[in-house]
A and B are shown apart, each in its own frame.
Chain A
Amino acid sequence: MDISGVKNGIVIDHIKAGKSMQIYDLLGLGKIDNTVALIKNASSEKYGKKDIIKIDEIIDLDYDVLGYVDSNITVNIVEDNRLAKKLHMELPEKLVNVVKCKNPRCITSVEQEIVHEFRLVDKEKKIYRCCYCDAEHRVK
């Protein structure tokens, strides 16, 4: 893992190549004042190619979002140029306003202000169900 250039901060590693922009948006990194570096198509022993995001400060991140987008992602917390903590992402038990229910018969399709909620029902197959209508959502 390359943490070079980060003294105190976060390195989001093993992002599937091409997905870093999506994660950048989902984490709202465009709205913060910190220095954020996006590295695309870095070479990886494990996956061939990967993306990396570096942030120059230890800030609160929505790990549920990361786990949902790609559970292979690792988050490295860097303190004084050293790896202080390595976090492995998991599929979150609940998704709140991350995906919208696509079932046209679902109450969330007609009432805009309802919070979209999904619960994890099958970890292996990566299946979520809408908390309102039970419609299935498979994580790709």
Chain B
Amino acid sequence: MSRNLINITDLTVEEINKLIETADDIVANHADYEDICRHKKLATLFFEPSTRTRLSFEAAMLELGGSVLGFSSANSSSAAKGESVSDTIMTVGNYVDIIAMRHPKEGAPIVAAKRAEVPIINAGDGGHFHPTQTLTDLLTIKRKKGRLNNLTIGLCGDLKFGRTVHSLIEAMLRYEGIKFVLISPDELKVPEYVIENMQKAGAEFYETESLEDAMPELDILYMTRIQKERFFNEEDYVRLKDSYILNLEKLDNAKEDLTIMHPLPRVNEISVEVDDDPRACYFFQALCGKHIRMALILFLLGIEK
């Protein structure tokens, strides 16, 4: 049975540490990795489009000297003709060494993993899991802060539907001394089960509606988008959206070494004037995304340098 990555908790803390080490070694000793996946193939099976994630996977495999094939939407795949996930995987599994798949339905990668003989990476299944985003976030935090413990992490925006936020919390609960500051309008607070998980793990946290009040104590500020459709009426949306847009003024009382993160794509929740501030790390985060995917591909293929 091959290893898969469906949810971030499929990996132990030790395994995550190892991935982070490999990602750093890829940067330090790049030449050692240039051909390491020669003759290996990655399939990117994207049953729904996500250009950013797909390109990140493809860049990762190409940089390891491997090659890639796949499709970028259900329309251009056999799924449009009604083929099941299992059948697609059973077929493609004959062509490649590892598969990254994204699917609009929750649990689709689990169906795939049951049939596949090659490793399956969940590249997002609806609103359910997106573990490589979480790995990206962890690597970014580690590189910027030098540690994954003893941090105060502000999570801002749509905390109700934002799956990246839920799995980042789940992943960070495994480290000591993490404090969460949950910044959102009342309508978009984190779901009850996330609160329960934080309580169970004994983590410190509080909820607030004010980004400005929370700002001074934050080591990390993780911004997410607030979507208009999440609100019952236009007035609430217009009233609230501005208070969750990050600009230089709101950063006035922030720490000097704050790390500002965002899963991207951004729409307007971080104003472009922030991009040149040294605390803005969201494009660096995209780079980390490629490095951690390289490390993950090596790990799942069982390749060491």
Given contacts A105-B126, A105-B127, A133-B128, contact A113 B84 (CB under 8 A): yes
Residues B111 and A114 in contact, CB atoms below 8 Å apart? yes
Q: Report the bound CA distance from A113 to B84 in whole Å.
A: 9
Residues A105 and B106 in contact, CB atoms below 8 Å apart? yes
Given contacts A111-B85, A113-B84, A134-B128, contact A106 B111 (CB under 8 A): no
Q: Report the bound CA distance from A92 to B85 in whole Å.
A: 29
| Given A108-B107, A133-B128, 19 more pairs with CB closer than 8 A | A105-B126, A106-B106, A107-B103, A107-B105, A107-B106, A107-B108, A111-B85, A111-B86, A113-B84, A113-B86, A114-B111, A130-B107, A131-B107, A131-B110, A132-B106, A132-B108, A132-B110, A134-B107, A134-B128
Which single residue of chain B is at the shortest CB-CB distance from A113?
Answer: B84
- Looking at the assembled complex, report how far the CB atom of B130 sits from the nearest CB atom of chain A, in whole angstroms: 14
Q: Report the bound CA distance from A135 to B110 in whole Å.
A: 14
Which residues of A sit under 8 angstroms from B85, Cβ to Cβ?
Answer: 107, 111
Within 8 A of A (CB), among B117-160: 125-128
Which single residue of chain B is at the shortest CB-CB distance from A114?
Answer: B111
- Looking at the assembled complex, report how far the CB atom of A102 sits from the nearest CB atom of chain B, in whole angstroms: 12
Q: Report the bound CA distance from A108 to B103 in whole Å.
A: 13
Partner among B84, B111, B127 whose Cβ is within 8 Å of the Cβ of A132? B111
The main secondary structure of chain A at its interface with chain B is loop
- Chain A-chain B contacts (Cβ-Cβ < 8 Å), number: 45
How many residues belonging to B are interface residues under a CB distance threshold of 8 Å? 15
Which single residue of chain A is at the shortest CB-CB distance from B106?
Answer: A133
Q: Report the bound CA distance from A137 to B105 in whole Å.
A: 18
Q: Report the bound CA distance from A134 to B86 in whole Å.
A: 20
Which single residue of chain B is at the shortest CB-CB distance from A131?
Answer: B110
Which single residue of chain A is at the shortest CB-CB distance from B104?
Answer: A105
Verify if A81 is at the interface (C-beta below 8 Å from B): no
Partner among A103, A105, A107, A135 whose Cβ is within 8 Å of the Cβ of B111? A107
Q: What are 8 A-B contacts defined by CB distance under 8 Å?
A: A106-B107, A107-B105, A107-B110, A111-B84, A111-B111, A113-B84, A134-B106, A134-B128
Q: Report the bound CA distance from A133 to B111 in whole Å.
A: 11
Partner among A109, A131, A134, A135 whose Cβ is within 8 Å of the Cβ of B105? A109
Verify if A110 is at the interface (C-beta below 8 Å from B): yes
Which residues of A sit under 8 angstroms from B126, Cβ to Cβ?
Answer: 105, 133
- Looking at the assembled complex, report how far the CB atom of A77 sits from the nearest CB atom of chain B, in whole angstroms: 36
Which residues of A sit under 8 angstroms from B125, Cβ to Cβ?
Answer: 107
Q: Report the bound CA distance from A80 to B105 in whole Å.
A: 55
Q: Report the bound CA distance from A108 to B126 in whole Å.
A: 13
- Looking at the assembled complex, report how far the CB atom of A135 sits from the nearest CB atom of chain B, in whole angstroms: 8
Q: Report the bound CA distance from A70 to B25 in whole Å.
A: 56
- Looking at the assembled complex, report how far the CB atom of B115 sits from the nearest CB atom of chain A, in whole angstroms: 11
Q: Report the bound CA distance from A114 to B105 in whole Å.
A: 13
Which single residue of chain B is at the shortest CB-CB distance from A109?
Answer: B105
| Centre residue among B84, B105, B108, B128 by max chain A CB count within 10 A | B105
